[in-house]
Structures are given as structure tokens and as C-alpha cells.
Structure 1
Amino acid sequence: MYTTLHIKQGSSKAFESIYNQYKDKLYFWLLGKMKSEYWAQELVQQTFVKCWISRENLSEDIEIDIQLFRIARSLMIDQLRKLANERKLAVNAPVITTEEAALQQYQAKETRQEIDKVINTLPEVGQQVFRLSRDYGLTYNEIAKELSISPKTVEYHISRTLSQLRKTLAPVFAIFFRF
């Protein structure tokens, strides 16, 4: 039987065991709350990713299932807030034609490609820091713990990356928004 201590020590077997033991319970609990298979699956994955990334913060005094459900609940609340804000924005948003939507999709794809190009030119640590921050939504402290660097180093890499993105993407935005 694996314990929280095993996970904190980085045992992938312990983590896999806990994942297999609780993924369905979390899924059905989230499905009941979210009423969406997609969001239930997504939040289960996010829960276990956050659990692994922040494993040093797990408490050995609290059962792992309680900690998993706390993480899932927190992520669910965040997601519900995002969805509520998106609905508010959608209600107030102007009607967009098919042509405008296609142009926006094209612009978003082009922008993402440009961002990826810039990110791929960064040193490995800079890439990791930026992706953990933007793709996984981790805080500077969580990133610092995960990569064994100081929060100030994380802040430096994020600042440097954003500065590089501004310089590189300024011409791209100038082209897209001239119309």
C-alpha cells in the first residue's frame, strides 16, 4: 500500500496506484457537479497533474483522497468562474459574421505559431518556466519548487520571455490590426 509519503518522494508507482484508485471516483463526482463529461475528464487530469507537480506540498497527516478532492474542488470552482465569465462576455459580445470568425481563427493560429517560435528559441529553463506558467497555470512558487530554482529566477524568465514576445509579435499585431 502506497502512502502520501511515497508520492512526496517522487514514486511514480505510488502515484500511478493512487491515480488508478481514485480517477473514477473523482470523475463521477466531477460529472455530477459539472454535468459535462468533457469537463469531468479535463478536471480529473488537471487534478492529478497539479497533485504531481505540487507533491511536496501534500500533507502526510491528511488522507490522499481528501487532498485530491480538495484539489479537484478548487479547480472546478476556478473553471466554473471562467465559464461564467465567458458566458457574460458572450452575451455582451457583438455578433460576428462567419468571415470575421474565420479571420479571427486564422489570426489566433498565426499568433500561436509566432509565440511557439519565440518560445522554442529560449533556453530550456525559460521554455519550461513559461509553459508551466501559461499552459498549466502554476504560480511562480509552484514553478520554482518543480524546477528547483528560486521564485526570482522564475520571475526573471517570465519577464524575459514576455519582453521577447512583445518585440517579436509587435509587427505581427500591426499587420493583423491594420484592417
Structure 2
Amino acid sequence: MDAHRVVALQSGDYSAFTDVFGMFWEKVYDYLVRKTHSPEAAKDLTQLVFIKVWKYRATLATDVPLNEQIFRKTKQVFIDWLRQEARKRQHFPDFAELPDIAMPGSADTAFEMRTDVQSALKTLPPKRKEIFELRHIYGYSYKEISELLGISTKTVDSQLVKANIQLRKILQTSIYLAVISHIVQEMN
């Protein structure tokens, strides 16, 4: 049944596309709402998925289930969206969104710590940084990250361990200075 739909799509049959859209729109939208936590973004991304299905219909395979092909495109669109969102934020320019990670009572120290965290994140290799952000900023599980990026969960784990070691080394001095600053303030 899928093969006939794919052949019809490949030939530009708009009614076949309308059928496919009707069959998968809600599933794609629900998936994207869960991932983006934004109905508006999910709606836009869902439309983009089906635009890509239509635009690249000639590349659809008749021997792969249509459901699998659509969700592969959905994951690609979602990853592109995550990257775009990360670029927009330029690694946390809105400091109000970040929790206080410094010692209480020192706004300057909190600001400095946030700046240090931003700088430290920029030192990570691109793929490691992407994995770190998906896990610690967006809250994805190891399995979800491995599926999104097409890598094993062991690779996800390995990259997160390396990221944590690298960040810990870089941030160690900043944390030490924040603690010393807090102690000095408490003594005065």
C-alpha cells in the first residue's frame, strides 16, 4: 500500500499527497509539540515537514515504509530547528532565563559565573556541544539524543563524560574564585 502512495507522490499526484498529509499530520504535530514544548513552533515545523515531503517526493523510496520516511524528515526538521534556536540565543544571551548558579547575595558573581559558563561551552567541539545542549539544556534522554543524531547511546555517554571533564577543568577556577569572593563578603 505504501509503495503505491510513494509512486503516486513521486509522479506528482496531489491527491496522494493530500491523503498522506491527512494520515500523518496529527502524528507529526504531536511529536513536534512534545519536542518543542510550543504548539506554534510545532505547527510551523509540521508544515515544513510536509513541504519537504512534497518538494523531495522524487527521493522517496518505495521499499521503505512511508511512516519511517516522514519521521526521518521530521527529525531532520526538528534538529535544524534546534540548531537555529541555539544560534538565535547565541548560547544564553538572556541571563534572566538561567538559574542562579553562583553564591547567593552577589549579582556580580552570578553574572560572572554565567559568562564563564558561556565561554566554557564555546570551547567544546561542535558535536560534543550539541550533545551537551540536547541533554542538559533541552532535557533529552540518551536514547532520544542517539536517535536524533544517528549515533549510539554509548557515544552519547562518552561525549557527555568528555564534555563534563572539559567543562569542569575550565570552570574550576571560576568556581573557586566565586567561593572565595562569597567567603570574603561574608567576613565583611
TM-score (norm: length of structure 2) = 0.47
TM-score (norm: length of structure 1) = 0.49
Greater C-alpha Rg: 2
